[in-house]
Structure 1
Amino acid sequence: MDNPSRPRTLRRALATVLTGALFAGAAVLGAAAPATAAEQEVEGGELLWGFRQNFRQYVGNQTAALPPIGAVPHGQRITLIEPAQFDPNGRPAIANAPSNPNETLPYILPVSAGSVTDPDNLTVQTAGGAVYHFPSHYFTATVKDVAVKISDGVAQLVGDLAIEIEPNDAGYPEGIHGGDDIVIGEVASVDVDLDGDRLTVSGSGVTLTAAGAAALQDFLQEGSALDDFTLSTTVADPGPGTPASVAVSKTSGLNPEGDTVTVTGSGFTDSVLGTRPPVAGIPAGFYVAFGKYADPWQPSEGAPSGNRLNGPNGTAVKWVVPQESYESISTNFPSVANQLVLLNPDGSFELELSVAEALGGFTAETGGTYGVYTYAAGGVVHAPFETATPLAFGDATDINVTVPGGTGEPEEPETGSFGWAFASQAPASLGTAAVQGANFVATGALTEIVVTDTRAGGSGGYSWSISGQVGDFASGSNSFGGGHLGWTPKLVEGGASVTKGADVTSTTLGGTGLGASSVLAQSNAAASARLGADLQLVIPGTTPAGDYTAKLTITALH
């Protein structure tokens, strides 16, 4: 979450570390059938909404602020996430509040993307949000990137909603709760006015859902009244364009041990602007990925990111962007340059995906359908970029054989397999950084990685290595390099053949850091193991405050 904080404090220095390709995190791949001819995109506009007036009053007044922390200064109690603005024409919860502008005003949330099929079926996404700081009541709550969704005439507000609860003795469960793409509000009455190219949506009787109450750990109860809202935007002329489409060179009878497929696409002509770094304000492009996705998986349908599982490394995900974005990302974020593919001016592209290398992240128990999927990048939800091409591996109609080189006695067949996985779904968190001398320092631990290696027979000589590399940390328009993070590898379990990698120190302390690929552990024989690492982030004390997030790419060679 982008979470501005008090000066000299970094909130959630490493909020989430994900495996897989960089920048495939919260807005991970999504796909849907290409847009129909009746679907029209929206351009510009704004959502006028204030979440909940009584909540703004409660936080803005710091009602019953508890010692010894007490109330934080005015102007720091409710802060905005760009590009949101306070609505000067909205109703403040505190008359004549000393902050300027009045921090208890509702919000203007700019429209970032959306599509309209008809007045009863539409999705309009906004960017930005608000952060509610109440440390004496142990919490910081965030609401952002809210979308107005109407399906068959039923309206909802969907967005990112979370609460961070500090350590306390009041019985509140500490940690970060909530997440992305939560149905926040049910709308009792909605009025949609589509007049020519002008769309206005007004909603009233908005109430907090059970999912929203759970995200806030019942600081607000299910059914609590939320503010009414008004959305206004312009429906763009769809023109005679061709819907986006994707073709894959081989879709059945795939060999899981060695196939690479060629993916081509056309009709990706929309210039959708990104809402987060490194493509904020420039064409965001889209991802092309090999994955195993469960229905529903489309971001435009509000599917959770857990329904979209990608292969375990960058070979499974490519990022297709036009020339402008390609140059900007390559220059400013070189760590992801190997994932980039250039989108041609006519909206076409061609790339290769290694199915064999990507399969290591899946098991027979992993739900969903194997396929090549595309979806919008850069924090954008954009249905026309969502496509799915199912893939099938060898079946009864296929005969696959591999003939090794050389002659002589037949080799003993290899049995068993190699694989790895995180022990839980939250690979790492560094909490809140603290001041140490001239630097900020935050520490934590990598969730253990479980390596399962049951290979035997064959030609022998099995070995493996597990390495990690961290991309840039980003919070809004601010960022710093992944090299500021270091680790101390740990061998939790493993035989004599398994050795841990060397300690890696932050570049702030003169080390190489994890901005470059570093070995976590390795083995010179087939061996299962359980790996871990202590993490230390050291950054200059001049680093701007914010919620910084980076992505960790784990690479397994075997």
Structure 2
Amino acid sequence: MSTSLPRRLRRLVAATAATALAAGSLAAMAAPAQAATTPVAGAVFAWGLSNEANNAGFAPGTANMLSAGKIANPGVGGQTLTSATSWSNGAAAGWSARAGNVEIQKKTVAGGYATATWAGLKTSPSGASISPPTSSTFSDHRVAIKGGTGSADVAADDATITWSGDFTVLGYSGMTFFYVSDPTLSVDDGVGTVTATLDGYGTKQDDTSVWTDLESARVTLATFSGVDVTPAGITVTPDFAGVEYESTAVPQSRTTTGWGSWPSSFVTFVEPTGQAAYWYSTGGSVDKNKTPLPLTVSFPGPAKVTVSSTTIPDTGTHQVTVKGSGFDPSLATGTRPPLAGKPTGAYVVLGTVADVWRPSAGAPSSARKAITQRWAVLAEDMATIGGPAAGAIELKPDGTFTTSFSISKAAIDASKDKLANLGIYTYAGGGPQQALYETFTPITFAPAVASTTTLSAPTKLTYGRTGTATVTVRTSRALTGSIQLLDGTRVLGTRPVGAGRVSFTLPKNLTVGAHRLSARFVSGNVPVVRSSSSAVRTLSIAKVATRTALKVTKKPTRKKAGKARVTVSGTPKAKGRVTLVIKGKGIKKTVRATVRNGKVVVTLPKLKKKGTYKVTATFAATSTHSGSKKTVKVKVTR
């Protein structure tokens, strides 16, 4: 038997416990911790609606699909999209994968999501056709809307979040469609709804020439219960099974397993569009595709910053690399020029701060003193703020950025205008306050420890063969840390420094050509002055030498084709193109084939004249194997 209490009862117990403690009761009563209602910004709404909304249409060549924004009105009924830009009557259409906060996304083979394309609307993630509609292959698209704002109470399973944006739900490639605008999620004690404003055009399945402008209406898109509101967000499958709908057209089937319906106000609205039967059970073969897919609402976490080194040698000038993630551009909108009303990204600053410095905590600008400042904004806005010369760096749409700072203890000590805490700090640029953008990474100085790193490695190898590289680190005192072996900028391996000597096995798949191998010592929190003069080697990877063998296993005649076996030696086994040329008696014929695992059997053409012929097999050089050839003679006697 479960000992957990219903949500309402848990909240009542907690309230009773608080009252008892306030009254000084001697009876101890344990209460679960209660999280207060907290503001939410930047929430992402993601939903594929149903498999039927991602299915092929019964009309040949059509499909059900989603579009970001409001697709253009074709002006008359019975039209289909012939491209992303045009209706079949030549009117402008405007199918789009992105519009404002809205993006249509397609599931990938790996299971994630990528921005949708026009070409992918009628294929599965693997590229298979989604027709016919009775199959179980769907296009697997979803609508994602960023920038949701509101509040959530994790402990109480309450949430209210609103999004701004439009998307279009199209059936039969647009013969019928409606718009969905500005959805709102409301959850109270785990029971919730999604409402939205719908608009669109009326038509009829038996007379698609009908085309009437419908009155917009606020409807319930989904209902659900048992919602667990977590710090990361919500995932829930809306209600369908057992939900009744009284249709004025096709009656609802209530006898099949899993029969049901989407919310009545929603289906009532779409009934004049001719789509109603897409959204409730009718007893047909695609009823199973009409059930709602899981709906996800994601709450953004705080942004993160990593700094390549946070303990800096106290002498000299040193470069540090700063990388940021989670700086969703939609979370900060400018309140002052030059980017008022636009995403304003984040200030990324090397400087000093007071103990209380965050703008969201009410700290004044005097609590932050910049030494070097960058401004991470979207690429299209970098020139507006003065470009890289003025400190602009690119904030990518996925919320990431990379920049670097030069740090000198002497220069910082010479600065008279500084506060107590030195570090890299970030906060929203252009005026808005956004607590999720506010980070601080302290920087400290320490005496440097001298080190010498040496690398021993082969200078020549053949592709597919391995070798050993040995790195030795000597320091003036014992340190913790790691040794890295690199091929150019690519890290081939990382090992604990241990006693200061580490061996690495070189990969067999290093590409043919020259490689710059290097080693570096990455210390713990103690800064190290590195010596890399003896920690670089040039490694040359040569192609695998091959030998081609050719044997005619069946001689060609004037009436029958022959056979030849070509074998190309080499380790690893060769793969590539081989060309066979047959010459003699004024005849020259060419046959091409592909060698796999070092061999291939080739069909030789018929030879109309008797006599002796030369057969030459040439294996073409590849990126990993050298070329080679072999010639044999074959005598045609009949």
Shared fold per TM-score greater than 0.5? no
Structure number, greater radius of gyration:
2
TM-score, normalised relative to structure 2 = 0.27
TM-score, normalised relative to structure 1 = 0.31
